[in-house]
Structure formats: structure tokens, C-alpha cells
Amino acid sequence: MTPGVTVQAIAATDPHVLDRVDAVLARMTPAEKEALIRCDFGALTHLGIPALTMVDASAGLRGEQNVTAFPVPLAQAATFDEDLARRIGVAIGTEGRAKGYNNLLGPTIDVTRTWHFGRQAESLGEDPLLAGRLGAALTTGMQSRQIIATVKHFAAYTQEAHRFFTDTLVSDRALHEVYQAPFRRVIAAAPATSVMMAYPKINGTFATENPALFDDVKNRLGLQGYTVPDFWAGADQVAAARAGMDLAGLGPGGVRLAPGALTDGAIPATRLHDAARRILITMFANGLVDHPVPAPAQDVSTPEHKSLAHEAALASTVLLVNRSSALPLPAGLKTLAVIGPAGPDALTGVAGSTYVDPGTWTTP
């Protein structure tokens, strides 16, 4: 573990935030704490707790139109530019709030270990150091707009085949020095962010139900915010909450936890309290309580954001071999053949979390 990371994380939350969180918790019943964990925000309006509104946001806002489509994260990583990543984070955070969201599901900082990984375009590449530094820049940029980032996926998520039940066998050293390393840097920079737990089993136990992983992310890495499962992840949501899961999501088969599932001794009262506290810390620290999201706007893309996407696309272009000094193109060039899907076509991301449809396109 990087020396000083845990100390930095513990010292990073404003005592004023903690005082406000504890004041709200003092008014909450166990049933209300459970409602917060289950995302039953309608039962909490009298406490001033806002509903979480989530959207995938690795390269822009998935499922929306009239938004900016940024280059996929793998292309962002190819820029090696932390300031550019921070500005992209600010832009996505700005558009997310304008569309009525207060929780961005991104950035994705899974370490790409094989080209067979179906979500590699959503990751920040194969280098844990690079993924951590760019992930930190994206996260702090997003959260500067009074919005929560959810960094994903913790941890050792490296394949899509059988992702819901595969068992990833990994040594402690590789787990901590490779797969968790990007999260260490992000959490050091933004301890009150949130972290999404991965789909697979890790050494025999689902990541969502793995006490050792929760100990790593909260105690070794210093996360003060909440953990949340990937959608439909794991096998037992009560076991997940007992192990350290803070925010309940859609369980196996899309089933939500029923009211009362986490009370009456199902999980220790201290665990219930800790989960609710972490959710509230993340909300207060990132301004969700003091800055409610506006009514969704129809068009949130701007010329500045489109220019930023263009800048990132240029910066991400990598020349592997400059055969026969083909570049730069000669000044007197009259014609140029563009071969492949690069003329009137536009590809933004792949199916899934990185796909963004802005509605209108500027093609190569």
C-alpha cells in the first residue's frame, strides 16, 4: 500500500460534513436506514435525503440524446493526459447534472489484461499506474460538479464470458499490486467517492459478498464513501450487506430487496448504521443535499464540449509505424483514400456502458 494513503483519505472529509451526516443519522430509525440502503428514497423525503439518479457515463451519458460523445476511455488513456481527463470529467459531470442525474456510473478503471475482455474499450488500459492517475482525474472532475462518481469494478474483473458466475483465481500480490492499484489512486484523490463491486467470484467468493475485498477497499484503501453492486451481481444480497455492501442494487434475476430484509437481526445493527452513514457521507461531501439537480434539459451538449471531444480524439490517435515518412502529409496532396469505417460512418463506443448516441455526428 502506498504510504500515507489511508491517512490522507481519513483526513479528507470535512468535519462539518460528518457533523451533518451524524445529525441526520440520529433522527433515523433502523427501518429508515434500511430504506436508504434499498434506495427507497420516497420514505426519506422528510429527512431531506435526495434520491440517487444514476446513468452510465464512461464516455458520455448512455441512453440520452443531445449529449456529447467523448472518445471511449481506452482512447482517453492513449492520450496520457491527466488535465484532459479532468476536463472530460468536468464536462460529463456538467451534462449529467443538466440531464437530471446526480450519480455517474464511471469511470471504469478495470485493468485490461487480455484483448479477449469484451469491455476493454470501457477501461483505461493495461497499466495500473496510468489507469489510476487518469481515473483520479476523471473522478475529481466529475465530482467537482456536485455529482457522485461510481468507480468500477472492484476488483479483478477481466472477462465477459460467464461474467455472472465465473471464479477469478488470483494471488494476493497480483490482486493488490495490479487490480486494486488504480482504485488506490482514485480513492486517495477522492475518498468520498463510491465504488462498484464486480460480477465474478474472486478466489471462490462473489466480489459482492467477499469480506476481504470490502476490507481492502474500505480499510486498506481508505474509501469513506459507499460500495454498490454491479446490476444483477452476486447470489445473496443479504449476505452482501453483511459482508460490507452499502447500497443495494438489483439482485439476481432483477429482484430488489424486500422491506425488512436487513432488519430484525438479518445483519448487525452496526453494519446497517455504517452502510447508511457511508451513503450519506457520499451525498453530503459531493453536494447532493445542498445542490439538488435541476429539471432535465433537452440539449446539454455545447460547442466547448464538442471541441473538447475533438481535442481528445486527436490526442488519442496513435501512430505505430511511420513507414516511408508517410506523415506528415505533403502540402501538395490532391486526393486521399480513406478505407474502412471512417468516412460517413461514426462509431462511438461499443454496445453497453460506453455507447453514447449524441443525435448528431461530426464524422472523420
pLDDT in tens, 78-123: 999 999 999 999 999 999 999 999 999 999 999 998 888 888 889 9
Which pLDDT score is estimated for 9?
Answer: 39
Averaged pLDDT, 258-275 = 94
Percentage of the chain surpassing pLDDT 90?
76
Place of cell 456502458: 353
| 170-184, 247-261, 274-288: segment of lowest average pLDDT | 247-261
Task: State how far the Cα of 286 lies from the Cα of 43, in Å rounded to an integer.
Answer: 22
State the Rg of the chain over Cα: 21
Shortest CA distance to 223 belongs to which of 158, 287, 112, 139? 139
Domain spans, the chain: 5-285
Residue 25, φ and ψ in degrees, nearest 5? -60, -35
Which pLDDT score is estimated for 129?
Answer: 98
Active site residue 230: yes
Task: State how far the Cα of 244 lies from the Cα of 220, in Å rounded to an integer.
Answer: 14
Question: Could you tell me if 227 and 194 are in contact, meaning their C-beta atoms sit under 8 angstroms apart?
Answer: yes
pLDDT category, 46, cuts 50, 70, 90?
very high
Q: Is the domain covering 5-285 a CATH 3.40.1190.20 domain? A: no
Question: Could you tell me if 147 and 192 are in contact, meaning their C-beta atoms sit under 8 angstroms apart?
Answer: no
- H or E element that contains 293: none
Query: Residues 230, 236, 274, 290: which is the catalytic one?
Result: 230
Quick check: 70 pLDDT over 80?
A: yes
Q: What is the dihedral of CA 95, 97, 103, 105, to 10 degrees?
A: -10
Query: Please, what is the average pLDDT of the chain?
Result: 91
Quick check: 326 pLDDT over 90?
A: no
Averaged pLDDT, 244-261 = 86
DSSP-derived secondary structure for 82-123: HHHHHHHHHHHHHHHHHTT-SEEE--B------TT-TTGGGS
Averaged pLDDT, 39-67 = 95
Which pLDDT score is estimated for 37?
Answer: 97
pLDDT category, 338, cuts 50, 70, 90?
confident
pLDDT category, 346, cuts 50, 70, 90?
low
User: Model confidence over 291-322: pLDDT tens digits?
Assistant: 999 999 999 999 999 999 999 999 999 888 99
Percentage of the chain surpassing pLDDT 70?
93
pLDDT category, 364, cuts 50, 70, 90?
low
pTM for the whole structure = 0.92
- Work out the burial of residue 91: count CB atoms within 10 Å of its CB; fewer than 13 is exposed, 13-18 middle, 19 or more buried: buried
User: Model confidence over 143-192: pLDDT tens digits?
Assistant: 999 999 999 999 999 888 888 889 999 999 999 999 999 999 999 999 99
